[in-house]
Amino acid sequence: MKDNQHEQLVTELTPEQGAVIEGGAWLYLYKATAIKAGADFGWSNGDDVYARINGDQTSTTNDVDTGETANFFKWKQFSGTASINLFDSDGGLAGDDDYLGGFTVGTTPTNGSKTLRISGSGSIYDVTYAVYA
């Protein structure tokens, strides 16, 4: 085969196929829907949600109110387990950001998306994700 044919084969791998070759898995974090947004004070102050996946932080979504969704669309390759934790950003105010809850997944494929309910700091979220291996 010509070199460009080898290169083409590698670049056409799906995340699932790449994870098999690498010996790990891929996590895709879709979204978090606020069942109750209550980490911030005030009747008009929604949660400023971000996620950490094995320490890597997503961008922060501003003012997620009850019934609204924070979309992440974030891929993360991992081996063993992936820890997903959501936080409410306090925007530089004194104290740590508010922990909204989290969970851990392994490399077993989810066979489609899954949704888990998490809670913390007065908020409740349904988090949708998928694992590909």
Rounded CA-CA distance 103/82 in Å is: 9
Q: Which residues of the chain have pLDDT under 50?
A: none
Q: Which domains does the chain have, with CATH numbers?
A: 3-132 (2.60.40.150)
Rounded CA-CA distance 26/47 in Å is: 27
Residue identified by tokens 């899954």 is: 114
Amino acid of residue 127: V
Q: Which pLDDT score, from 0 to 100, does residue 13 have?
A: 63
Q: Which pLDDT score, from 0 to 100, does residue 21 have?
A: 59
User: pTM here?
Assistant: 0.80
* Structural tokens at position 63: 């003012």
Helices (H), 1-133: 3-11, 15-22
The 8-class DSSP code of residue 19 comes to: H
Q: Which pLDDT score, from 0 to 100, does residue 86 have?
A: 98
Helices (H), 12-127: 15-22
Give buried/exposed letters for 61-97 (b at 16+ CB in 10 A, else e): beebeeeebbebebebebeeebebbbbbbeeeeeeeb
Bridge-based pairing state of the strands 69-78 and 56-57 = unpaired
